[in-house]
Structure 1
Amino acid sequence: MMLKAEKEQKKRLKYTAIGVTVMILLIIGYSLHKPLPEGFTVTKWDRAVMHVVEPALRVAYYYPSRMFSKASNMVYWTRGALNILSKTLGLLVDTQGQIDIKWHEWNGTPVKVYRPIDNRTSTDGAVIFIHGGGFALGNVEMYDSLVERMAFEMKTLFISVEYRLSPETVFPGGILDCEAAIDYFFDNASIQFGVNTSKIVIMGDSAGGNLATVIAQRRAARNASPALAGQVLIYPLLQMADMQTISYRYFHSRLSGYALVDPESVAYYYMFYAGIDMDEKAYLIPSVISNGHVAKDLKPEVEEMMSHRIVIESTRNYRNHSISERWEIERNFEAQDLMRPFLTNPDFSPLMRKDLSNLPPTMVLTCEFDVLRDEGLIYAQRLEAAGVPTTTINYENGFHAMLNFHSELHEASKSVEDIEQWTLNVINNA
């Protein structure tokens, strides 16, 4: 009888523990739940996935990163957390062992080469991929599944560049790393890989889109030969002279507190990249996100380069969601002095380059729920006005960094297919 009673007690304790655990999980889930905006993701599956992923990201990196007193520690925590989390993504990608992947070092820059086995390519072109991460986060391995997938589905050689990150390496270190590797590739691609160097496309997302844009502009400015066949700019980070565009203001009114790329993070990362010690200068951030870092004499040039935003702000209104007017600028002369060398420097803010006429065919991808949406759309309009063949796609249900979920979300997978189709078309017609 005692043995039976002990078993019953253990059984009750087990069910009690399960019940308490479920209750705790429900309470945690309820406390973390934030309803996603209308239109965020396109299918019920995507929305369900993001209702799990977004709170998980908040717990893993967003909330902890806000607890550090030093901005550099925020960067290091976020870097480590995302490196770990990225290993859980892209697990559904199956390239059937058809992609040979090897590390190389070209002119001092590590690169990873994704090559169809036995060089069974559908083209004799290639793609140079530059990963994103605000110049401070990310690495080649974080994008492994995406790049391997594209190399497999396109049957095309891909090169992924491991440039150095800030705050350890500041502007223009990342640009020089990428250019060193790219120069090597152009010099050796034909003999080493059988690539036609007139059929090379450069591609990058976020800060990688910045670097890809800058490299394309610099090659065009010096009439480098052979010219790039095309460029794919995926929600690119192109400027920080106007942090009150409508896409930035929408974030403040509707997306604040979500684990999405936010205005403060853009300011921190961009300023770290500029070589500013944000452990000491964090107090400048409120001024920067109000545009108080833009000196008066720079404003005419900024306004000229950003003029297309007028069209965007009059036609793209986030489903009539109420968005605040521009708020008062908190001017800060220290911030203006520190940022003066960078805000209109096209190697730092490529949207500020005046002459865009000599650039290769371009694909610009933007996402509706992204603070960087407007600058991508502005750049695309300026490219078109300069006579550059330009394809622009704004994913109405998309968000920044969604390509990292390319095997988990339908919207992201569709964008990969769009990229592949455009890139193959450019390579085949080069």
Structure 2
Amino acid sequence: MPLHPEIARFLATLPAPPEGPLDPVAMRAGDEAHVAPLAERLPLHRVEDRTAHTASGDVPVRVYTPTEADAHGVIVYFHGGAFFLGSLETHDHVARSLAKETGLTVVSVGYRLAPEAAFPAGLDDCHAVVRWAAEQGEDLGWDGTTLAVAGDSSGGNFVAAVVARAHDEGFDRITHQILYYPSLDLDFDEDRHPSLRENAAGYGLETAGLKPFNAFYLGSGADPADPRVSPLKRGDLSGLPKALVVTAEFDPMRDEGELYGKRLREAGVEATVARYEGAGHGFVQHFSWIPEYHEVFARTRDFIAGKA
């Protein structure tokens, strides 16, 4: 099917990208300027900013409690943004929808960003907060059952890297991994995955933009050949938590997400791959107000509940 008309209309309004090198400070400010006022955000039982005291240092987190029940399962959520953009604020609406639709407590991680924080600072923060969530379970109201990790785009990269690291360290509390249009292979050779050519231009995120957008992370010491950076390069995916991998039809990175799901299944891991037709990269963050894309949160709920 063609690109969703609402997405196409929005893309047609965007100005041409500015020439010259990317300015992370200006781009972050631009993203923050579009955050909805608090009064317009989805209401939940409780939303609380906290500090997770972890082995990686003090990490800001935002805890979303959906109902007044004494205990819930927990989702630890890593926002996207090519490792240098995104924040607790820019992805607040995603975390709220996750909490509302799944009925689980969501812990959103304000991990350190490149280039100011060199690799593996952000990854270390995400891994450490998952450990912290398990250790502080009683304080968080964790019911001791579901401990899922979820992330979009580069946040999905961190999901795959965190579950692999947890497995290698013998930490077996993570029950589910949820990746929305993940960036899993930071080798951007256009011949590596067909979608890099098929969806190269005209759908929002463009293949030509992948290298400059990820340059801040790679320039901070992240080697694309390292499985911690490109989780698709991990040789053995066996023993990892069950997975939901959401991809978008018109995303240059579509195929790497789908390949991850395929390789998980080949390794004996339960994995569901769901491609959203008519969508481009970033649709969970930018277009989840469209009913057929908001459904991704219900799909996530059903996946965690064992219904999908």
- Both structures adopt the same fold (TM-score exceeding 0.5): yes
For 1:273, the equivalent position in structure 2 comes to 217
Equivalent-residue separation in structure 2 for 1:55 and 1:396 (angstroms): 19
For 1:81, the equivalent position in structure 2 comes to 30
Pair 1:116-2:63 in alignment: no
Amino acid at match of 1:178: C
Amino acid at match of 2:31: L
Amino acid at match of 1:54: L
For 1:12, the equivalent position in structure 2 comes to none
For 2:283, the equivalent position in structure 1 comes to 402
Deviation at 1:212, TM superposition (A): 0.9
- Is the Cα contact below 8 Å between 1:361 and 1:388 reproduced in 2? yes
Deviation at 1:409, TM superposition (A): 1.3
Q: Which structure has greater strand proportion?
A: 2
From 161, 186, 199, give the equivalent of 2:109: 161
Pair 1:261-2:212 in alignment: no
From 138, 150, 173, give the equivalent of 1:203: 150
For 1:219, the equivalent position in structure 2 comes to 166
For 1:145, the equivalent position in structure 2 comes to 93
Equivalent-residue separation in structure 2 for 1:345 and 1:397 (angstroms): 32
Residue by residue over 1:172-225, the C-alpha shift from the partner in whole angstroms, topping out at 9 and shown as x without a partner, is: 110111122222211111x2133144420000000000011100000011211x
Q: Which structure has greater helix proportion?
A: 1
Equivalent-residue separation in structure 2 for 1:389 and 1:113 (angstroms): 28
Equivalent-residue separation in structure 1 for 2:283 and 2:291 (angstroms): 10
Deviation at 1:120, TM superposition (A): 5.6
Residue by residue over 1:246-286, the C-alpha shift from the partner in whole angstroms, topping out at 9 and shown as x without a partner, is: 1111233xx24x5x11223321232210235xxxxxxxxxx
- Is the Cα contact below 8 Å between 1:170 and 1:274 reproduced in 2? no
Deviation at 1:155, TM superposition (A): 2.1
Amino acid at match of 1:369: F
Pair 1:241-2:187 in alignment: yes
Amino acid at match of 1:66: P
Equivalent-residue separation in structure 2 for 1:217 and 1:420 (angstroms): 23
Amino acid at match of 1:271: A
Equivalent-residue separation in structure 1 for 2:298 and 2:145 (angstroms): 23
Equivalent-residue separation in structure 1 for 2:178 and 2:124 (angstroms): 20
Equivalent-residue separation in structure 2 for 1:409 and 1:251 (angstroms): 22
Amino acid at match of 2:149: I
- Is the Cα contact below 8 Å between 1:89 and 1:405 reproduced in 2? no
TM-score for both structures, normalised by structure 2: 0.90
Equivalent-residue separation in structure 1 for 2:118 and 2:189 (angstroms): 21
- Is the Cα contact below 8 Å between 2:101 and 2:298 reproduced in 1? no
Question: Structure 1 regions of 5+ residues with no counterpart?
Answer: 1-37, 42-46, 277-338
Aligned pair count reads 302
Give identity over the alignment, percent: 27
Deviation at 1:55, TM superposition (A): 3.0
Question: Structure 2 regions of 5+ residues with no counterpart?
Answer: none
Deviation at 1:406, TM superposition (A): 4.7
- Is the Cα contact below 8 Å between 1:367 and 1:396 reproduced in 2? yes
1:231 aligns to what SS in structure 2?
Answer: strand
Deviation at 1:402, TM superposition (A): 0.5
Cα 1:102–1:241 change in 2 (3 A) is same
Deviation at 1:363, TM superposition (A): 0.5
For 1:232, the equivalent position in structure 2 comes to 178
For 1:416, the equivalent position in structure 2 comes to 297
Deviation at 1:94, TM superposition (A): 4.0
- After the TM superposition, which residues 172-211 of structure 1 pair with which residues of structure 2 at under 5 Å, given as runs? 172-189=120-137, 191-211=138-158
Amino acid at match of 2:97: R
Equivalent-residue separation in structure 1 for 2:7 and 2:35 (angstroms): 15
For 1:297, the equivalent position in structure 2 comes to none
Cα 1:246–1:407 change in 2 (3 A) is closer
1:421 aligns to what SS in structure 2?
Answer: helix
- Is the Cα contact below 8 Å between 1:99 and 1:152 reproduced in 2? no
- Is the Cα contact below 8 Å between 1:359 and 1:388 reproduced in 2? yes
TM-score for both structures, normalised by structure 1: 0.65
Larger Rg: 1
